[in-house]
Amino acid sequence: MTIKTKLQTLIAAMMATTAIAAQQQACFNYFRYSGNDTRFDRPIDRTRQYFNPILAGFYPDPSVCRKGDTYYMVNSSFGFFPGVPLFTSKDLVNWKQAGHVLDRPGQLPLGGQGVSGGVFAPSIAYNEHNNTFYMITTNVGRGNFFVKSANPEEGWSDPIWLPTVGGIDPSFFFDKDGSAYIVNNDEPRGGSGYDGERSIMLHKFCVEGDSTTGEQVEIIRSGSHVEQKPIWIEGPHLYRIGKYYYLMCAEGGTGARHSEVVFRARHPEGPWEEYAEGNPILTQRDGLDPLRPDPVTSAGHADLVQTPEGQWYAVFLGCRPYEADMYNTGRDTYLLPVTWSDGWPTILKAGKTIETVIDKPGLQPGGDLLTGNFTYTDSFRQARLHHRWVMLRNPTDFYATGTTRGLAITPKPVNISQHQSPAAVFARQQHTDFTAETELTFEPKSEKDLAGMVLLQNEDYNIVMGKTMVDGRPAITLTRTEKGSVRVATAMLTGPEAASPLRLRICGRGRYYDFDYSADGRQWQTLARGVDASCLSTALAGGFTGTCIGLYATSAN
């Protein structure tokens, strides 16, 4: 064999190997998302009006702080990685995602945790005494910890664990005199007197030593109106405003009975008095027409921030049900002005509804696509994924971007129902009425190979549409999982369409979703119509997340 022949053989072998590798990957040429909710289908003057929610979709448990003229906000991320999305704004309405606080696996060990495990209720605070930002939170599989940064947009420290702080939902407070405290939810001293009874604990914090000092103090037990046996007081935030310290907490659980209550004292250790006539200062649980247009439910878990001009605002979570108490979009972030009376704050008066359009002069339109009706397309031609994309738990490298093939995912022998890290990237479903579309190139080798789109609420409640093998032939399948999995539809692929790029489309309309495909790139064909997607609602699936739309690939090995 001549040198030329050997070289040709080597090149042919390399090309064959490359072709096999490419065939073993699932390539997504683009992802297009479009939201069209009726509540947002109205003109507003974006220089003086805004839509609630300000962050639509799975952005719960907001916490906010300000340095100068810039606001910083974080949200819970649970079992997704990177963790704790970080947003910045100049006007509290138009937000831009700066990245994630926890963007390294060492900051966020998630191995073996469920979708609704991981990070609970992060809280962000700025300490003007040392020009440092702090983000404190609970990793339910490991404990309470915080990270810190001089510049939040450039990265955060390794986690500093707090073994003396139990329970969940810790939050920092940095006082004017330089002293510092942590408040958190925990088991009441001596144990709970009834199911759901919790307490708020106070810890002194040494800034120089990055640790708590002394014993914890139980400052609130049970909650507001203790004669009514309130449940699940949590999400505490401590403030110093004027001559009082204020403690604001969520109460009633994160579902339909959710609310926000407030207390005040002359010293952080108390004694604390409750706003007996005004609590809850925010809720949507009582006295409202259940048939009201554009309802918002489950309002609570708030945080306060003051503008440079002295006005107070509250960010909080709420939900947009499409019927009864069902919502697939999860818990959104909302914004309302705070009013004060006799030294007490109120976010929303009793019996008032959360309106969709709110007046706020002096807005600066811009930022990311986070609320209202919008469309975006990701072509995956950049070297890094957009910040909207997240993964489950602590994934290893399984994808590549920045090529002409778009997003290339190497399948893993992990399916979406396992408590491991699947080969999948996820973006949030942000609207009740939406369309999501992609183009897939994938050649399955067995019935255990599948690539396509997944609608994920959790491991036991999801819907998967993908290309696989059925009876030894290429096919598209649709599987709905509500504890158990049921094959909803199958479409066999024959002739050229079996090897052609395949377009997949999901159209959600409240509770019912349509699933389509196109093998020729021109005409859509129906895979299934009116599939009941209530399995993606928190009411049925439980947990704390909203539906995420995934690009996904799994394999036999």
The separation between CA 160 and the C-alpha centre of its own chain, rounded to angstroms, equals 23
Q: Sorting pLDDT into bands at 50, 70 and 90, what band is 425?
A: very high
Give the pLDDT of residue 452: 98
Q: Please say which residue of 317, 333, 359 terminates a domain.
A: 359
Give the pLDDT of residue 171: 98
Give the pLDDT of residue 404: 87
- Tell me how many degrees the CA angle 474-477-482 measures, rounded to the nearest 5: 155
Give the pLDDT of residue 19: 38
Give the pLDDT of residue 24: 80
In a domain, 366, yes or no: no
Amino acid (1-letter code) at residue 362? G
Residues 346 and 382 in one domain: no
Q: Sorting pLDDT into bands at 50, 70 and 90, what band is 33?
A: very high
Residues 44 and 25 in one domain: no
Element (DSSP H or E) covering residue 14: helix 3-23
Residues 101 and 242 in one domain: yes
Q: For residue 168, give the nearest of 141, 149, 204 by alpha carbon.
A: 141
How many domains does the chain contain in total?
A: 2
Reduce the secondary structure of 128-167 to three states and give it as a string: CCCCEEEEEEEECCCEEEEEEECCHHHCCCCCEECCCCCC
Which is it for strands 211-221 and 234-241: parallel, antiparallel or unpaired?
unpaired
**pLDDT at 385 > cutoff 90:** yes
Element (DSSP H or E) covering residue 87: strand 83-89
Element (DSSP H or E) covering residue 540: helix 538-541
The separation between CA 244 and the C-alpha centre of its own chain, rounded to angstroms, equals 33
Residues 300 and 403 in one domain: no
Domain that holds residue 379: 18-34+374-554
Q: Please say which residue of 359, 385, 402 terminates a domain.
A: 359
Q: Residues 136, 76: contact at Cβ < 8 Å? A: no
Q: Sorting pLDDT into bands at 50, 70 and 90, what band is 18?
A: very low
Rounded to a whole number of angstroms, the CA Rg of the chain reads 25
Query: What's the whole-number mean pLDDT along residues 140-156?
Result: 97
Give buried/exposed letters for 421-460 (b at 16+ CB in 10 A, else e): bbbbbbbbbbbbbbbbbbbbbbbbeeeebbbbbbbbbbbb
Residues 480 and 499 in one domain: yes
- Tell me how many degrees the CA angle 336-337-339 measures, rounded to the nearest 5: 130
Distance CA 229, CA 138 (A): 26
Residues 346 and 442 in one domain: no
Distance CA 58, CA 290 (A): 23
Residues 425 and 349 in one domain: no
Average pLDDT, the chain: 94
Query: What's the whole-number mean pLDDT along residues 360-369?
Result: 94
Q: Model-level pTM greater than 0.85?
A: yes
In a domain, 505, yes or no: yes
Q: Is the dihedral of CA 132, 136, 141, 142 positive or negative?
A: positive
Residues 25 and 45 in one domain: no
In a domain, 212, yes or no: yes
Give the pLDDT of residue 318: 98
Distance CA 488, CA 479 (A): 5
Residue 380 sits in a domain whose CATH number is 2.60.120.200
In a domain, 8, yes or no: no
Residues 392 and 493 in one domain: yes
In a domain, 1, yes or no: no
Q: Sorting pLDDT into bands at 50, 70 and 90, what band is 14?
A: very low
Query: What's the whole-number mean pLDDT along residues 498-520?
Result: 96
Q: For residue 82, give the nearest of 375, 395, 342 by alpha carbon.
A: 395
Give the pLDDT of residue 498: 86
Q: Sorting pLDDT into bands at 50, 70 and 90, what band is 329?
A: very high
Distance CA 74, CA 174 (A): 18
Residues 25 and 151 in one domain: no
Beta carbons within 10 angstroms of residue 142's beta carbon? 15
Q: Please say which residue of 310, 330, 359 terminates a domain.
A: 359
Sequence-separated (6 or more) residues with CB below 8 Å from residue 4: none
Q: Sorting pLDDT into bands at 50, 70 and 90, what band is 432?
A: very high
In a domain, 10, yes or no: no
**pLDDT at 23 > cutoff 80:** no
Distance CA 15, CA 213 (A): 64
Residues 280 and 380 in one domain: no
Query: What's the whole-number mean pLDDT along residues 449-478?
Result: 97
Beta carbons within 10 angstroms of residue 530's beta carbon? 11
Q: Which residues are catalytic?
A: 61, 234
Residue 221 sits in a domain whose CATH number is 2.115.10.20
Query: What's the whole-number mean pLDDT along residues 350-357?
Result: 97
Give the pLDDT of residue 131: 98
Which is it for strands 26-35 and 375-378: parallel, antiparallel or unpaired?
antiparallel
Residues 230 and 305 in one domain: yes
DSSP-assigned letter for residue 396: P
Give buried/exposed letters for 30-62 (b at 16+ CB in 10 A, else e): ebebbbebebbeeeeeeeeebbbbbbbbbbbbb
φ and ψ at residue 517, rounded to 5 degrees? -145, 160
φ and ψ at residue 191, rounded to 5 degrees? 100, 160
In a domain, 5, yes or no: no
Strands (E), 338-398: 339-341, 344-346, 357-359, 375-378, 391-392
CA separation, residue 307 to residues 61, 64, 129 (Å): 20, 11, 19
Q: Sorting pLDDT into bands at 50, 70 and 90, what band is 1?
A: very low
